[in-house]
Each structure stands twice: as structure tokens, then as C-alpha cells.
């Protein structure tokens, strides 16, 4: 499932998250900017476990080994975003109309889906569950 939300620059990144993940269950990996007790609780009620790294001023907490591995693999997400911006060229910002912006964005996403080599986690699900 793919969900995205376009918001103005002055909107908190955490605001659109609950609406985008309404039909998801399982684990949701985010960066430190998504750490919020109310957001974590709301997502947990929806059946999602929010996994993030800790901020420097936060106390250490126990984390499953599988979750720790997934947080480390978050770099792959950053790589995909970089490929979308550079290879699929979706970062162009001087569109003259919202329709042109939307067409450009969708064309970039379609171009990415047709790439032969895409990065992946290559994790064995059974090994993660056993950890």
C-alpha cells in the first residue's frame, strides 16, 4: 500500500500520519522527528507499533533485535528517496499549475517502479521472528 500527503511547509510532519496509516497493521519505522507520546499511543490503538531511534536526551530502552535491525535498514528508505529525487527527477519545484506538479510526481513514481534494480531489505521473515 502506498500513501502520501502533500502539506504546506508549516505543518508538522506528524499531523498527516494517522490518516495515512488507517488500514495498516504491524510495524511503522520513522526517524526521530516522529517521536511523540500521543502519536505513538494513537498508532498503537490502530494496531501499529512505531519504531524510531532515540533522541540523544532520551533514556535508553529495550528493543527487540528485529526492530533494531529494521531501524538500521532505514538508510534504504533514504536511498529510495534520493533515487526518486535524482533519477526520477521529482524534486523540480517550479511548476506553473497543480496539475503539472501532480503529473510530474506520478510520472516520477511510475518511472521508479520500472527500474530494474531497486534496493531492498533482503531479510528472512522467519529469522526476524525468531530473534
For 75-95, write each residue's pLDDT tens digit: 787 788 788 877 777 776 777
70 shares a domain with 57? no
Take residue 72 and report the three cell numbers written for it: 538500521
Percent of the chain with pLDDT over 70: 83
Per-residue pLDDT at 129: 60
Q: Specify whether 72 is located in the same domain as 87.
A: yes
Using alpha carbons, select from 39, 113, 128 the residue that is nearest to residue 80: 113
Residues 89 and 47 in one domain: no
Q: Are residues 26 and 84 in the same domain?
A: no
Give whole-number Cα distances, 86 to 60, 65, 108, in Å. Answer: 36, 33, 10
Same domain, 45 and 106: no
Length in residues, the chain: 131
Boundary (domain end) residue, out of 46, 61, 76: 61
Give the residue, 44 or 64, on which the prediction is more confident. 44
Q: Among 61, 84, 109, give the residue marking a domain's end.
A: 61
Asked if 56 and 114 sit in the same domain, the reply is: no
Domain count along the chain: 2
CA 80 to mean position of chain CA atoms = 10
Q: With cut-offs at 50, 70 and 90, classify the pLDDT of residue 121.
A: low
**pTM: predicted TM-score of the whole model, two decimal places:** 0.57
Which domain range does residue 50 map to?
1-61
Distance, CA of 9 to CA of 5 (rounded, Å): 12
Amino acid at each position: 500500500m502506498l500513501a502520501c500527503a502533500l502539506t504546506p511547509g508549516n505543518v508538522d510532519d506528524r499531523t498527516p500520519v494517522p490518516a495515512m496509516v488507517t488500514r495498516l497493521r504491524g510495524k511503522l519505522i520513522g526517524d526521530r522527528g516522529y517521536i511523540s507520546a500521543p502519536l505513538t499511543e494513537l498508532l498503537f490503538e490502530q494496531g501499529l507499533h512505531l519504531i524510531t531511534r532515540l533522541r540523544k536526551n532520551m533514556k535508553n530502552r529495550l528493543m527487540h533485535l528485529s526492530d533494531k535491525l529494521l531501524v538500521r535498514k532505514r538508510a534504504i528508505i533514504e536511498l529510495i528517496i534520493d533515487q526518486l529525487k535524482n533519477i526520477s527527477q521529482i524534486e523540480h519545484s517550479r511548476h506553473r499549475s497543480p496539475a503539472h506538479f501532480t503529473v510530474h510526481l506520478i510520472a516520477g513514481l511510475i518511472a521508479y517502479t520500472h527500474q530494474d534494480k531497486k534496493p531492498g531489505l533482503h531479510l528472512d521473515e522467519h529469522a526476524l521472528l525468531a530473534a
